[in-house]
Amino acid sequence: MTNAEQARLRGYAKKKTSRLETILDPAWEKQLRESRQAFAAFVLFRDAGAGRSYRETTEKLQKNERLIWEWGRLWRWQGRGAKLGESWAKERGRRGGKSRIVALGHG
């Protein structure tokens, strides 16, 4: 990754996003230039919930732990996972504490 790309990613991570930007490019979706393999690993990490860890992701994928840590650092997995949790919490708040599934009439 070039210095310019790294600077752009750092700037993107620091910028405040509006609600519309969050809807159009949510942190929990595949990011620009993120490889399919790195994103697939992130999805496993993301979906593990509050107890998520790089070590658990490493074991499930049978990948090198250093690689998982590097992807996590580069693609800000901790922050992206936290944003998903925050988004779900806001959604529950808007729906009066109901889960997304119940609120959509599936439960």
The dihedral sign for the CA sequence 50, 84, 97, 105:
negative
pLDDT reported for residue 64: 95
- Alpha carbon 34 to its chain centroid, in Å, reads 12
Letter for the amino acid at 84? L
Whether the predicted pLDDT of 44 surpasses 80? yes
Q: What predicted TM-score, i.e. pTM, was given to this entire model?
A: 0.61
Read off the pLDDT of residues 80-92 as tens digits, 9 standing for 90 and up. 878 877 777 777 7
CB atoms within 10 A of CB 81: 21
Distance in angstroms between the alpha carbons of the first and the last residue of the chain: 46
Rounded Cα–Cα distance for residues 80 and 6 (Å): 17
